[in-house]
Amino acid sequence: MQMAIEISVPKLGLTMEDATLVCWKSAAGEMVKREQIVLVLETDKVTFEMPSPGDGLLHPVAAAGSRIEVSEVVGYLAVDKAELAKLAARHPAAETSAPAAAGKTPAGTTAAAVEPPAAPATAGGRAKASPVARVMAQAHGVDLSLIAGSGPGGRVVRADILKAIEKGAPARAVPAPAAAAGELLSAIQEIPIAGVRKVIFKNMHLSLATQAQLTLHTEASAAAMIQLRSRLNAAGAKVSYNALLVKVIAQALKQHPLVNAGVEGEVIKVWRQVHVGVAMDLGRGLIVPKVRNVDSKSIREISADIDRLAEAAKAGSLALDDLTFGTFTLTNLGAWDIDDFTPIVNHPESAILGVGRIVEKPVARDGQVVIEPRLALSLSFDHRIIDGAPGAAFLKTIKDMIEEPALML
Amino acid sequence: MSDRIMSASAALAEALHEEMARDETIFILGEDLTAHAGIFGQFKGIPEKFPGRILDTPISEACIAGCGVGSALTGMRPIVDFHFSDFVTCGMDEFCNQAAKIRYMFGGQVKLPMVVWCPDGAGLRAAAQHSQSLEAWFVHTPGLKVVVPSEPADVKGLMKAAIRDDDPVMFFQHKRLFRREGHVPADPEFIIPLGRAAVKRAGKDVSLLTYGSGFFLCMEAAGELAREGIEAEVVDLRTLKPLDMETVAASVKKTFRAVIVHEACLTGGFGAELAARIQAELFDHLDAPVLRVAAKDVPIPFSPPMEDFVLPKAADVIQAVKTVCYR
């Protein structure tokens, strides 16, 4: 009978199948309390700090850097030292990247089945790797000594390199060489395309490579929206422009359902649900969390959702389900004084609304020049499935609703 | 041309009939050929159709081999039937010291178009002196070509190529495969050039490099492995010398792993030679050590359970594949 508590990888989202164990937050043999962050997981979309499922002495069995399937056991929490020793005998320990506990790691933990990335078999020597793994590591600038080999005796094999490349390899620190005399072009830094950057890299290219994208520009008077926002703010919690814009999008999509669509194989699917992603960059790269079912939410509900998602994004605690299955995206560059731009559709969606700054401009009205707050709108869409006229009509509806919010009713 | 289903024996007989009809310098000599059309019935119809061109000899392998060498040197194209490949030891000087070297020693002034037909292999409860797979001995002898077909079509296409070749060819055909049937093209000019391997099952996870009876073990193993999600590529080498290293290299570069399978015993077998070449020429493409699956290093036992124990099985191939695939 085993009394120990198993630590396993939770399913963080509907589509999640596995994750990378980035690191352990406690050393082997260390006492861990319930709810204390015990390890860090990373999927291709989020990083998740996992709280401990209970109290106990930590016995990690999966090495930092390894790929773990959902519900796979990565470690145990022992009730006491005797049980820890028993666990160590039964399950070879993996080293943690955290510093060793002040006491002493229990006997048995040295017999690691998997070479730990922090202290691999290379100490002073050469990493064990298959020939093809060695060639691939060289070609991709992957440092073999930082990879936990899955082969016999910790041998790094081809699959390990592929995984490392996929998740963003622990790239070899490339010393920036001084520009040689006469060299016309030299890099001062080499940044591996990995992690979130890799996802963005692939998705952006996929979007433009698969769709026929077209961008339409127009401008709206922002006066009514400014007024609406100040009235709402006076009456309760603060509402952001993005919340108002998401509401506008939701209402406009009701009139133009074909814009809320995607292509799957040879079929255009017009989605029942309206999930609007709001593009954010909070210092960790571009992410687009989704506001769910906006068509049935009030402005205040939408605003609260966006605030919650932004907080989670800042804390790095977004769930995978917050990032998948969008049907339309809003991207707002107003904060950077941008007017018109050409947003790239967030594949596999089919349309994205780019919003610029609100700026006062002289406008001719009824033969008079008046000063008015104006807002630039840019709609990019997949011309394969949305023709120019319906796309323009959708943008016109957006513009009309911004200028006359009563049209949303 | 449409394909027919026929046995390896029938495919061999057809190759002989076609070639003997085409070229009257071709003749067959060996023991007990005319009365029973060969001890495996492989020469069916030939004594009647080509009288005088299939000759019974005394029971003297040195004599049979020597006649072959002499007649080849003087303009004939002999096919020497050696009954059991195990008996080559009695013709070793003629094959390895004479046939293999004469063309070289005469500076290319003579040629030696002889086929030595050697039924080999175990599994027939024929005991240690009638069950061996000896191809590696001849691969080790410069001047000889070595062919080991598996399927009936290969038997036919390679026998025709061997007969038309101007150098001595050791042609090993597994006794247990004589009755095995397969598709054989009807085209009388269907010839498989010596030195050309065939990828008979495509796969991306491991290369099974094999020949002769090993081919069928590999196909069985590949079928099992596919159910477990491992796609094995089966390369039938067909000719061991000259060796089609190009096809081997293309396969290993694709799969990064190689397992060599043959029925001959392990130590000093052809697998050792091939493994050495793979590591030398394809080192940077390997993701695992090259493994060999072969018979155990003992004389083939007469006892059926012991014989089965000594010979390689599909399960051994599967085990080796899992090892190199880190599964």
Span A402-409, average pLDDT: 92
User: B83-133 pLDDT, tens per residue?
Assistant: 899 999 999 999 999 999 999 999 999 999 999 999 999 999 999 999 999
* CA proximity to B278, closest of B315, B241, B253, B298: B253
Task: Please return the burial class of A192, using the count of CB atoms within 10 Å of its CB with bins 0-12, 13-18 and 19+.
Answer: middle
Q: In whole angstroms, what is the distance from residue B212 CA to residue B173 CA?
A: 7
Q: What is the structure's pLDDT at A105?
A: 36
Region at B212 (left for phi over 0; alpha for psi -120 to 50; beta for the rest):
left
- Within 8 A of B285 by CB-CB distance, chain A residues are 131-132, 135
Q: With contact defined as beta carbons under 8 Å apart, do B240 and B137 qualify? A: no
Q: In whole angstroms, what is the distance from residue A390 CA to residue A395 CA?
A: 9
- Within 8 A of A151 by CB-CB distance, chain B residues are 288, 326
Q: Could you say which of A131, A132, A157 has the minimum Cβ distance to residue B326? A: A157
Q: What is the structure's pLDDT at A317?
A: 79
Active-site residue identified among B83, B130, B174, B262: B130
User: B205-264 pLDDT, tens per residue?
Assistant: 999 999 999 999 999 999 999 999 999 999 999 999 999 999 999 999 999 999 999 999
Question: What percentage of chain A exceeds 90 in pLDDT?
Answer: 44
Q: In whole angstroms, what is the distance from residue B248 CA to residue B250 CA?
A: 6
| Catalytic status, residue B130 | yes
User: A324-376 pLDDT, tens per residue?
Assistant: 889 999 999 998 999 999 999 998 899 999 999 999 999 998 999 999 999 99
* CA proximity to A286, closest of A250, A333, A247, A328: A333
A91-114 exposure pattern, b = at least 16 Cβ within 10 A, e = fewer: bebbbbbbeebeeebbebbeebeb
Query: Beta-carbon neighbour count of residue A116 at 10 Å?
Result: 20
**A357 vs chain B: nearest CA distance in angstroms?**
54
Three-class DSSP category at B31: coil
Q: What is the structure's pLDDT at A11?
A: 80
User: A106-152 pLDDT, tens per residue?
Assistant: 333 333 333 333 334 444 457 889 999 998 888 888 888 888 888 88
Span A220-235, average pLDDT: 94
pLDDT band at A312 (very low <50, low <70, confident <90, very high): confident
- Within 8 A of A67 by CB-CB distance, chain B residues are none
Output the CA torsion sign for B135, B136, B139, B144.
negative
Query: Beta-carbon neighbour count of residue B160 at 10 Å?
Result: 21
Q: Taking an 8 Å Cβ-Cβ cutoff, which residues of chain A contact chain B?
A: 130-135, 150-152, 157-159
CA B303 to each of CA A346, B133, B307, B313: distance values in angstroms, whole numbers, following the listed order? 71, 18, 6, 17
Q: With contact defined as beta carbons under 8 Å apart, do A339 and A357 qualify? A: yes
Question: What are the tokens at A160?
Answer: 């390990």
Report the 3 state secondary structure along chain A. Answer: CCCCEEEECCCCCCCCCEEEEEEECCCCCCEECCCCEEEEEECCCCEEEEECCCCEEEEECCCCCCEEECCCEEEEEECCHHHHHHHHHHCCCCCCCCCCCCCCCCCCCCCCCCCCCCCCCCCCCCCCECHHHHHHHHHHCECHHHCCCCCHHHCECHHHHHHHHHHCCCECCCCCCCCCCCCCCCCCCCCCCCHHHHHHHHHHHHHHHHCCEEEEEEEEECHHHHHHHHHHHHHCCCCCHHHHHHHHHHHHHHHCHHHCEEEECCEEEECCCCCEEECEECCCCEECCEECCHHHCCHHHHHHHHHHHHHHHHHCCCCHHHCCCCCEEEEECHHHCCCCCCCCCCCCCCEEEEEEEEEEEEEEECCEEEEEEEEEEEEEEECCCCCHHHHHHHHHHHHHHHHCHHHHC
User: A38-54 pLDDT, tens per residue?
Assistant: 888 887 767 788 889 88
Task: Please return the burial class of A293, using the count of CB atoms within 10 Å of its CB with bins 0-12, 13-18 and 19+.
Answer: middle
B287 and A152 within 8 Å at the Cβ level: the answer is no
At residue A168, does pLDDT exceed 80?
no
pLDDT band at A13 (very low <50, low <70, confident <90, very high): confident
Mutate to test the interface with A, among B287, B323, B324 (most CBs of A within 10 A): B287
| Catalytic status, residue B61 | yes
Q: What is the structure's pLDDT at A35?
A: 85
Question: What percentage of chain A exceeds 70 in pLDDT?
Answer: 87
Task: Please return the burial class of B24, using the count of CB atoms within 10 Å of its CB with bins 0-12, 13-18 and 19+.
Answer: exposed
Q: With contact defined as beta carbons under 8 Å apart, do B321 and B232 qualify? A: yes
Spell out the domain ranges in chain B. 3-185, 198-324
Domains of chain A with CATH codes: 5-90 (2.40.50.100), 131-167 (4.10.320.10), 196-408 (3.30.559.10)
Q: What is the dihedral of CA B39, B43, B45, B46, to 10 degrees?
A: -120
Peptide bond before A53: cis, by omega within 30 degrees of 0? no
Three-class DSSP category at B263: strand
Three-class DSSP category at B164: helix
Average pLDDT, chain A: 84
Q: What is the structure's pLDDT at A86?
A: 84
Span B266-289, average pLDDT: 96
* Domains B3-185 and B198-324 equal at CATH topology level: yes
Q: What is the structure's pLDDT at A125?
A: 59
With CA atoms as reference, the chain A residue closest to B280 would be: A131
pLDDT band at A102 (very low <50, low <70, confident <90, very high): very low
Q: With contact defined as beta carbons under 8 Å apart, do A395 and A245 qualify? A: no
Q: Fill in the amino acid letter for A275.
A: H
Least confident of A21-35, A157-171, A201-215: A157-171
pLDDT band at A93 (very low <50, low <70, confident <90, very high): confident
Query: Beta-carbon neighbour count of residue A155 at 10 Å?
Result: 20
CATH 2.60.40.1180 for the B198-324 domain, yes or no: no
User: A186-199 pLDDT, tens per residue?
Assistant: 778 777 777 777 77
Does B229 contact chain A (CB < 8 Å)?
Answer: no
- For chain B, the straight-line distance linking the first and the last C-alpha, in angstroms and rounded, comes to 44
Q: Could you say which of A130, A134, A135 has the minimum Cβ distance to residue B288? A: A130
- For chain A, the straight-line distance linking the first and the last C-alpha, in angstroms and rounded, comes to 64
Q: What is the structure's pLDDT at A360?
A: 94
pLDDT higher for A389 or A103? A389
**B251 vs chain A: nearest CA distance in angstroms?**
14
User: B7-53 pLDDT, tens per residue?
Assistant: 999 999 999 999 999 999 999 999 989 887 777 778 889 999 999 99
B287 and A133 within 8 Å at the Cβ level: the answer is yes
* CATH classification code of B3-185: 3.40.50.970
Q: What is the structure's pLDDT at A180?
A: 62
pLDDT band at A97 (very low <50, low <70, confident <90, very high): low
Span B43-68, average pLDDT: 94
Question: What are the tokens at B136?
Answer: 């590696």
pLDDT band at A98 (very low <50, low <70, confident <90, very high): very low
Active-site residue identified among B19, B61, B151, B263: B61
Peptide bond before A51: cis, by omega within 30 degrees of 0? no
Mutate to test the interface with B, among A67, A128, A132, A163 (most CBs of B within 10 A): A132
A150 and B284 within 8 Å at the Cβ level: the answer is no
Beta-strand runs (E) in chain B? 3-7, 26-30, 54-56, 77-81, 115-120, 145-147, 169-174, 181-185, 198-201, 206-210, 232-236, 239-241, 258-265, 291-295
- Within 8 A of A132 by CB-CB distance, chain B residues are 256, 284-287
Q: What is the structure's pLDDT at A358?
A: 94
Active-site residue identified among A140, A340, A383, A400: A383
Question: What percentage of chain B exceeds 70 in pLDDT?
Answer: 99
Span B293-322, average pLDDT: 97
CA neighbours closer than 13 Å in the CB half-sphere of residue B284: 5
Q: In whole angstroms, what is the distance from residue A254 CA to residue A269 CA?
A: 15
